Structure 1
Amino acid sequence: MLDFYILKDDQAKPNYPEHAALKFAGEIDDVTFSNLQNKGIIDSRFGYYSDFRWETAVITQIRKNILQKEMQNDTDVQQLIQILETADTEQSGLIAYGD
C-alpha cells in the first residue's frame, strides 16, 4: 500500500511517519495508483514504491486535472479525492510512503 499522511508545506520531511506522529490521510493500492497514472491524474514522476510529497499547490493542480478530465465519478479517482479532501480539511499537503 501507498500510505498518505498530512504534512504542512513548511514542515520538514520526516524519514518515517510513525516517528513524527503524522496524521494518516488514507491509502491507495498499486493497481489504483497505476490506473490513476494511466488516466493522467497522477504524474509519472511519482513512483508507487518511493516516498514523495505533494504540497498544497500540487494537490490543487491534481484537483484541476480531475475537473478538466471530468473524472470526478471514476472509482479510482474517488479514492484519491477522499485523501485530497482530508488534506484540504487540514489545509495541508501530503506525504506518501510506499512499502
Structure 2
Amino acid sequence: MIKLQTGTSGWVDKHWIGIFYPPDCNSNQQLSFYAQRFITKDPDEPLSRLMERASGLQEKLGLILFQFPQTWHINIERLQPFLELLQTYPQQQFTV
C-alpha cells in the first residue's frame, strides 16, 4: 500500500503569519500548528480532501508538488491513473 505525505519545504515563514498561521502564533508554536494541518495522508482518503485543505490558502496557493521516493522506478501503469485524477482539478497547477 502506498503512503502519501503532504507538506512544504519548511514551516517557519514570517509572511505566513496571518495567512496560514493565526496572527498571535509565535515561532515556538508554528511547528505544532503546522503538524496539525500537514499530516501523513491515508491512501484511502480521497484527493478531494487534500484539495479541500489546500484551498484554504486561496490566492496564496501556488504549484502543488507531488514528490515520490527515489526508490520508485518509473511505472507508467501506476502513474497514469494518478495523473488522470489530477486533471479533475484544472484550476490548480501540479508537478510530479
Whether the TM-score (by the shorter chain) exceeds 0.5 is no
Q: So what's the TM-score if we normalise by structure 2?
A: 0.30
Q: Which has the higher contact order (CA 8 A, sep 6+)?
A: 1
TM norm structure 1 = 0.30
Structure number with the higher strand fraction is: 1
Which has the greater radius of gyration? Answer: 2
